[in-house]
Amino acid sequence: MTVRQETNRIPMKLPQGALIRKENGISIFPGFCDVHVHFREPGFSYKETMVTGSQAAARGGYTAVCAMPNLNPVPDSPDHLAAEEALIRQAGGLVDIYPYAALTVGEKGQEAAALEELAPRAIAFSDDGKGVQDEGMMRSLMERCRRLGKILAAHCEDESLVRGGYIHDGAYAAAHGHKGICSESEWGPIARDLKLAKETGCAYHVCHISCKESAALIRQAKREGVDVTCETAPHYLLLDEGDLQEDGRFRMNPPLRGKADREALVEALLDGTIDMIATDHAPHSAEEKSRGLAGSAFGVVGLECAFPALYTGLVRTGILPLEKLIEKMAVTPRERFGIPLREDDLCAWDLEAEEVIDPEAFESKGKATPFAGARVYGRCVRTVHRGKTVYEFRIQNDKF
């Protein structure tokens, strides 16, 4: 292994407005921003901590993340949110971590959280991990978010349609005797919510869309002027049920869908229907991911392989211009969520470096990713946050 670059010659600032700067064979981008990560604290430190999550983010080129509230305690009151904020402060600011607050108490969908008190300290509201089942409750949450000027970020899942499913209700499930999750369990609630968002004027953001119907609904709603944005994750753009293996690292919610869904998501990314790419970085312990498709916990990690996987699968193949990918990973998430794009937040990549994605090298405690073993291009050589180097590639092999 050789070091192909001199990282100490990388500038520490990007000129205002520049998305890509090339210097000495290194490509420099604004620091990425992921609006959907699970850093698992407080409550589940064995899966991830604020520190290990931050290290994973920095290694993936991210300088800002938004942390989802399916925690213990759930940040549904000022005291509960304070517990999470203390952990964020203690983590030392390797990257900026913006907490979401919950929409409902305990994310149970029954009783609204203390939205008014939480609003000044939360980046947005979400019950991620759970869909808000009741339409009346969702309407009232949207009205309150609208008054507070906060985004409502929805995990859309109709529990009455899940029926014990854990992978896409498609050809693979049928052929291998697995229980499927139909696409309507996702697009049904999206259709409901888009109507409510139109009526209430709420700033509505749809988390991790995975199927073609969701993209079509959101495209139409944007045409009608609804204040809606959405994200998808790298695995929904690059993989489908044809890639499934009998392994827990292929189990996430929503599941990998069909080929037509994947293609529709790429099209939606290109035409602007999909505003941003978020990883839904969802670490679990090795044991929790060791029980195959049927028995593992839902969720895969994403921060440390998102850019190389997307760059290799979409940019080098000529599907997506590099500039567009950077926009979707660094610019549009910040614009929508009101996170400043700082000129001293950047990541530097050797785009010609070939890597095999090796979860054992991850900083994250979570190792489960469907991209394990994939050959990709792109190595993050440095991440700079607020002018300070927070990650730098070092060769492991000291024979060199």
Token code pair at residue 13: 């600032």
Burial class of residue 141, CB neighbours in 10 A (0-12, 13-18, 19+): buried
What is the three-state SS of 227-279? CEEEEECHHHHHCCHHHCCCCHHHCCCCCCCCHHHHHHHHHHHHCCCCCEECC
Which residue(s) pair with 67 in the sheet?
37, 99
Which residue(s) pair with 190 in the sheet?
none
Identify which range of 39-47, 86-94, 123-131, 295-303 contacts Zn ion by CB under 5 A. 123-131
Residue 199 corresponds to which amino acid? Answer: E
- Supply the angle between the helices 212-223 and 259-270 in degrees, to the nearest 10: 30
Which is closer to Zn ion, CB of 41 or CB of 345?
41
8-state DSSP, 207: -
Residue 236 Cβ vs Zn ion, minimum distance, rounded to whole Å = 12
Closest CA to 199 of 143, 151, 150: 143
- Span 259-278, contacts to Zn ion by CB under 5 A: none
Which is closer to Zn ion, CB of 207 or CB of 372?
207
Residue 224 corresponds to which amino acid? Answer: E
**Total chain residues near Zn ion (CB under 5 A):** 3
Which is closer to Zn ion, CB of 113 or CB of 326?
113
Which is closer to Zn ion, CB of 53 or CB of 308?
53
227 among known catalytic residues:
no
DSSP sequence for 60-102 = TTEEEEEE---SSS-S-SHHHHHHHHHHHHHTT-SSEEEE-B-
Three-state SS for 217?
helix
Q: Does 385 bind Zn ion (CB under 5 A)?
A: no
Residue 208 Cβ vs Zn ion, minimum distance, rounded to whole Å = 6
Which is closer to Zn ion, CB of 35 or CB of 320?
35
Triad 90, 95, 101: Cα angle to 5°: 70
Dihedral sign computed on CA atoms, order 123, 155, 200, 191: positive
Identify which range of 148-156, 229-237, 328-336, 360-368 contacts Zn ion by CB under 5 A. 148-156
Residue 344 Cβ vs Zn ion, minimum distance, rounded to whole Å = 32
Strands 152-154 and 204-206: what pairing? Answer: parallel
Among 40, 155, 379, 382, binds Zn ion (CB under 5 A): 155
Residue 130 Cβ vs Zn ion, minimum distance, rounded to whole Å = 8
Identify which range of 84-92, 186-194, 205-213, 293-301 contacts Zn ion by CB under 5 A. 205-213
Closest CA to 317 of 377, 275, 368: 377
Closest CA to 287 of 244, 248, 254: 248
Residue 396 Cβ vs Zn ion, minimum distance, rounded to whole Å = 34
Residue 368 Cβ vs Zn ion, minimum distance, rounded to whole Å = 16
Which is closer to Zn ion, CB of 194 or CB of 282?
282
Residue 167 Cβ vs Zn ion, minimum distance, rounded to whole Å = 16
Identify which range of 6-14, 147-155, 237-245, 364-372 contacts Zn ion by CB under 5 A. 147-155
Three-state SS for 140?
helix
Contact between residue 131 and residue 159 where contact means Cβ atoms under 8 Å apart: yes
8-state DSSP, 104: B
Residue 218 Cβ vs Zn ion, minimum distance, rounded to whole Å = 16
How far is residue 397's CA from residue 400's CA, in Å, rounded to a whole number? 6
Residue nearest to Zn ion (CB): 155
Instruction: Find the catalytic residue in 280, 344, 345, 358.
Output: 280
Q: Does 128 bind Zn ion (CB under 5 A)?
A: yes
Which is closer to Zn ion, CB of 107 or CB of 327?
107
Q: Does 34 bind Zn ion (CB under 5 A)?
A: no
Which is closer to Zn ion, CB of 41 or CB of 280?
280
Q: Which residue numbers are catalytic? A: 280
Instruction: Please report, as ranges, the residues that interact with Zn ion according to CB under 5 A.
Output: 128, 155, 207
